[in-house]
Structure 1
């Protein structure tokens, strides 16, 4: 997508991105596959009967797929929400294909909507995989508060995010290691530079300390960094 010199506009989850998204996220986000697989492994601890599970910013449904395969809780279903029409359309195709191959999957509904304004019902689990970083900073606390308010006691949020670091040297080292990771995945210097330029004004990343403080303020009682690979992480927040 960024292999040729081009005028880089703001990054958007459009049809062009949808076509390359599975390859792009795997080659760009260090630890991505491990995060997705282990959300599926860990989530059953928190899923409760007679409740909903939400996958926010569900993109092509990778997290939804592992959740509906791993969770066997009675009378539970998943609502996957994304604001990209192209992502929603393609994810419905992928989820339908999954249903043709496997039995005993949780029912799922894929909705095109804005996760900051969606009216959530009572839930035992939320997943938000590399989504909050695309939400304007001034809307993040309100969104997390809505999530916390919708969770049953003991419910949880799995939230994966790219991190920045307060210590300048730590940030520089881990950022350089991430650039090397992308080179090892076959990205050229031009591709790396053009993707960085397209994301510059769209993706605003926070430190783990900022995430933790915001989650606690939103109403969560426990916040843990359960996974980190270079500057990519996943956080568990418990109501």
Structure 2
């Protein structure tokens, strides 16, 4: 039975920085479903992307795989022979759960589950790289290098799926999107205390970019096309292609 997220339900005198530890891993399915608008759509479409863009005898990467939802969705969609999924996360708690989910999955595409910093992973012969809500936790001064490495590791025609929390240059729009996002969380059963404490925990841990920054970084790396395919409030997903 899925455990309910109560990580920030009790008042804390001091709210420490957010970590993907055992407490979070144990309720992560519930946490992300209730905290990320459109999460089910983004994960579901990973299956569709895999059906269309996973090429024979290539690799598909899930960078920041957490419990493996994107990995399992891609695995379900892969139709070509010789495709291997490489799922990477630096959290031991997440990786342990991911391995259990992969081992109990009935689909047959090969999967390597690796505990590592995604900056240390060699990305090669990739037809798909998925980074769902991962780059936002990466140090801003290291993001350009990571996107460049992903581009260089993709085969021609390869696809990067990049899903992120975003911010807006226009102050009114930014405030509106944040306010509506917090209402979304309350609609899903989170109290004002939980919303406030979670937000404080993520300060200086999750640092969002604007869509314009993402587009510029992708273009600089060499991606010929990058399109917004999904957005709900201040969460968005881009598809970027290497020609």
SS class of match (2:131) = strand
1:196 pairs, out of 178, 195, 199, with 199
Q: What SS does the corresponding residue of 2:215 show, helix, strand or coil?
A: helix
- How many residues were matched structurally? 235
Which whole-Å CA distance do the structure 2 matches of 1:42 and 1:12 have between them? 30
Matched, 1:84 2:91: yes
Equivalent in the alignment of 2:227: 224
Q: Map 1:158-237 onto structure 2 (within 5 A).
A: 158-237=161-240
Per the TM alignment, residue 181 of structure 1 is displaced from its structure 2 partner at its CA by: 0.3
Matched, 1:114 2:117: yes
| Corresponding residue number in structure 1 for 2:71 | 64
Residue number in structure 1 paired with 2:3? none
Could you tell me how far 1:43 is from its partner in structure 2?
Answer: 2.8
Higher RCO (CA-CA < 8 Å; seq separation 6+): 1
Please state whether the residue corresponding to 2:119 is helix, strand or coil.
Answer: coil
Q: C-alpha separation between the residues in 1 aligned to 2:154 and 2:201? A: 35
- Give the structure 2 partner of residue 5 of structure 1: 11
Deviations 1:97-148 (A, max 9, x none): 11xxx34x21101000111121222111100000000000000000000000
Please give the alpha-carbon distance, in whole angstroms, between the structure 2 residues aligned to 1:212 and 1:201: 23
Which blocks of at least 5 consecutive residues in structure 1 are unaligned? none
Aligned partner of 1:156 in structure 2 is 159
**TM-score, normalization by structure 1:** 0.96
- Please give the per-residue CA displacement for 1:71-97, whole angstroms capped at 9, x wherever unaligned: 111111100000001100111011111
Matched, 1:46 2:53: yes
TM-score, normalised via structure 2 length: 0.95
Specify the alignment match of 1:132 in structure 2: 135
In the alignment, which residue of structure 1 is the partner of 2:30?
Answer: 23
Q: 1:32 aligns with which of 39, 48, 60?
A: 39
* CA deviation after TM superposition for structure 1 residue 46, in Å: 1.4
Contact 2:49 2:74 in 1 (8 A): no
Matches of 1:25 and 1:206 in 2, distance apart?
Answer: 20
Question: What are the ranges of 5 or more consecutive residues in structure 2 without an aligned counterpart?
Answer: 1-6
Structure 2 CA distance for aligned equivalents of residues 43 and 152 of structure 1 = 15
Q: Secondary structure at the match of 1:119?
A: coil
Whole-angstrom CA distance in 1 between matches of 2:238 and 2:220: 15
Q: What is the RMSD computed on CA atoms of the aligned residues?
A: 0.9
